[in-house]
Chains A and B, each alone.
Chain A
Amino acid sequence: MSRTEPNRLLRKLTPDDLAIFEPELEEVILTKGQMILDAGHEVDHVYFPLDSVCAVLAVTEAQSPIEVGMFGNEGMSNMVVRPGDRTFFRTVCFIPGRALRISAAPFARLLSELRSLNEMTLRYKDAAAIQFGYAAYAHGVFSIEARLARWLLMTADRVHLGDLPVIHDLAASMLSVRRSGVTTAIHVIEGTGAIKATRGLVTIRNREKLEDIAGDCYGPPEQAYEFIMGQQPDSH
């Protein structure tokens, strides 16, 4: 198996394009809480997670950072179109693991040279924008339980573990909820049988129930991703 195989976006590159792109990639370990990109700073590398998961956070002066999206092996970090491009979000790893990364300059060059890379990253941008839009929907309209259910489902989609290492502090800061609010939400969701919570770990017991709790703030962006990224890139 090629080392790029676990990343679903890279899997969509044509064999010819991947053969050119792959040697530029460097495997790195992302640790929990590691900030890989910060708001207002230049993007030095573009990351493609293999089994790590990162949160994309909006950072404001007045409020604590709030999660606007996440990506794991289905996507990539903020890209660069030209070396020197900045990002306006903060990106932090919350499920540690491996990722492949490429420096900004070769990425920008190959983005214009490799057609399938260009097409799939643009497609991914579209899928990510839909996911970010649904985060606004979730934060604006849904209860803490529903938002936590959505977050657990999205995290579970990106890790291949039965247990989700969910520390209350982490979920709280990502959902912009106080820790006690997360404690209550976990208790309520656990009462439905959808999850089992022990200290620092959440196990999903009944995915359907969890999806019911999340309502339609989970699901449509995931279906959109499958539709958008399911297309074969034009190889001509």
Chain B
Amino acid sequence: MPRYFLHQRHRDEIIEDLDGAEFPDLEAVRQEAVLAAREIMSDRLRSGLEMNHSWFEITDEDGKVVLRLSFAEALPHSERGDR
């Protein structure tokens, strides 16, 4: 299975995913990013921290960006209708 790296960007800050993880396909990575974004947002919300301007930048093993997903896109009421 291909390995993907779920880097995070919060404004100017970059949080690198050094280890990465294996996923069957890009849709599975996107699903993981959605669930992770929701979890991080709920934690920040509870701690009273802002969460705008945060997104996932997902790269493949060659370092090529294959997907960008803003945290806002992970909200359940987003137009993509994620559950």
Contact = CB atoms under 8 A, between A and B. Distances in A.
Given A143-B46, A143-B47, A184 B19 contact: no
B8 A169 contact: no
B17 interface: yes
Contacts of A199: 18-19
A41 B34 CA distance: 37
A178 B32 contact: yes
B19 A178 contact: no
Given A167-B19, A183-B15, A200-B19, A178 B43 contact: no
A181 B40 contact: yes
Nearest to A177: B39
A204 interface: no
Given A178-B32, A200-B19, A183 B8 contact: yes
Contacts of A144: 39-40, 43
Contacts of B37: 180
Interface of B: 6, 8, 15-19, 21, 32-33, 35-37, 39-40, 43, 46-47, 56
